[in-house]
Amino acid sequence: RPPVLEIGGLSVDYGVGDGAVRALHDVDLTLRRGEVLGLAGESGSGKSTLAYAVTRLLSPPGVITGGDVRYHPREGEPVDVLAMTPQELRAFRWQEVSIVFQGAMNSLNPVHTVRTQLTDVLKAHRPRMSREERTGRARELLSLVGISPDRLGAYPHQLSGGMRQRVMIAMALALEPEIVVMDEPTTALDVVMQRQILRQLVRLREELDFSVVFITHDISLLIEFSDRIAIMYGGRVVEQAGAADIYRDPRHPYSHGLLHSFPALHGPRRELTGIPGSPPDLRAMPSGCAFHPRCPKAFEPCGLRTPHLAPVTDTGTDTDTGRSVACWLNDDRRSGES
């Protein structure tokens, strides 16, 4: 599958000068057309920061300090997202990429009906659509996410949490974007509802052919719905691979820990308590591999040199998903620096 978004060496700081903390380190990640890319990692690992940075929604004190983000439209040359003008950005967001934020279901405007909120998006970006066309499209969007178009006149408080979440997804899909970023879109909902919504999204993705970046704490949902998974720790991607490969055979000790805090794919949900110790403090990042103070497999180079994400050759039945890992244990790795 060809890439739709290529992130290279992306770094983000919060704050400037002495008070700055680095929340993203040198992140390399590729989203391919039509895939669901799952992002996992403990709280504070930089998942939302990454989502905000690649959509250019990062606001102060967040600053992108390096790297590039390339968007590949269906036609024409790749575009540098980090160099876009405000005008270009306005078109890029919603039409090319849309994002459903963490806790989004509470961000619907309580004083406007679902119709108004859906048609406002269309009005802003499709000025030539008539009123009737907008309403028609709003009805269509509601049906897409499994809500009866009769609910168009409803106010947010008249809808269940699951329905509000679906409305947010309908808004995100309004302009048929190529990429939908979902940052913990469903955590406030019960598991059955979460599954239902995600199943629907994956079906829509097949129908409408968009790509999804899906961020969640819930490893079981992640494995169930992602094609590929990237695991983040301390602002770095430490492993990325096909979902089945990473589930069956995690190569980074942190991935292993994360996955093993969830014993069964369909078992009860649990919080990420499986790894002893706590996530690193951005103000005092451990030297070398940031995971080394918690890593059961740490050895001589780990506290001294930082392992960088590098391709590993998979053996056996692995599909060619292009796995890469940032860990000194993987001896076929290429590079590393202090």
Q: What residues make contact with Mg ion under the rule CB under 5 A?
A: 47-48
* Interaction between residue 23 and ligand ATP (CB under 6 A): yes
Using the rule CB under 6 A, give the single segment among 44-52, 69-77, 152-160, 165-173 that binds ligand ATP.
Answer: 44-52
CA 250 – CA 324 distance, rounded (Å): 11
CA separation (Å) from 86 to 81, 90, 113, 226, 300? 11, 6, 29, 32, 48
* Angstrom distance (rounded) from CA 22 to CA 235: 8
Sole residue written with tokens 């890029």: 92
Amino acid identity, residue 119? Answer: T
User: Between 114-125 and 161-173, two packed helices, what is the crossing angle to 10 degrees?
Assistant: 10
- Which is closer to ligand ATP, CB of 44 or CB of 156? 44
Residue 312 within binding range of ligand SF4, rule CB under 6 A: no
Cα separation of 130 and 136, whole Å? 10
Q: Counting contacts by CB under 6 A, is residue 24 touching ligand SF4?
A: no
User: DSSP string covering 3-60, please?
Assistant: EEEEEEEEEEEESSGGG-EEEEEEEEEEEETT-EEEEE-STTSSHHHHHHHHTT---T
* 193 part of the interface to ligand SF4, by CB under 6 A: no
Binding flag, residue 121, ligand SF4 (CB under 6 A): no
Residues 238-277 that bind ligand SF4 (CB under 6 A): 252-253
Q: From CA 25, how far away is CA 237, in angstroms rounded? A: 8
Nearer to ligand ATP, 119 or 216 (CB): 216
Burial of residue 146 (number of CB atoms within 10 Å: 0-12, 13-18, 19+): middle
The reply on whether position 327 binds ligand SF4 by CB under 6 A is yes
Give yes or no for a contact between 184 and 217, defined as CB atoms under 8 angstroms apart: yes
Region near ligand ATP per CB under 6 A, out of 3-11, 42-50, 194-202, 301-309: 42-50
Torsion of CA 283, 284, 290, 294, to 10 degrees: -120
Which of the listed partners (ligand SF4, ligand ATP, Mg ion, none) does 223 bind, with a CB threshold of 5 to 8 Å by partner kind?
none
Q: CA dist 307 to 230, 240, 291, Å?
A: 16, 14, 11
Segment lying near ligand ATP (by CB under 6 A), choices 47-55, 112-120, 127-135, 315-323: 47-55
Contact with ligand SF4 (CB under 6 A) among 12, 97, 152, 289: 289
* 14 makes contact with ligand ATP (CB under 6 A): yes
Residues 50-69 that bind ligand ATP (CB under 6 A): 61-62
What does 328 interact with, of ligand SF4, Mg ion, ligand ATP, none (CB < 5 to 8 A by kind)?
ligand SF4
Among 295, 312, 324, 333, binds ligand SF4 (CB under 6 A): 295
Residue 292 binds: one of ligand SF4, ligand ATP, Mg ion, none (C-beta under 5 to 8 A by kind) = ligand SF4
- Chain residues binding ligand ATP by CB under 6 A are 14, 23, 41, 43-49, 61-62, 102, 282
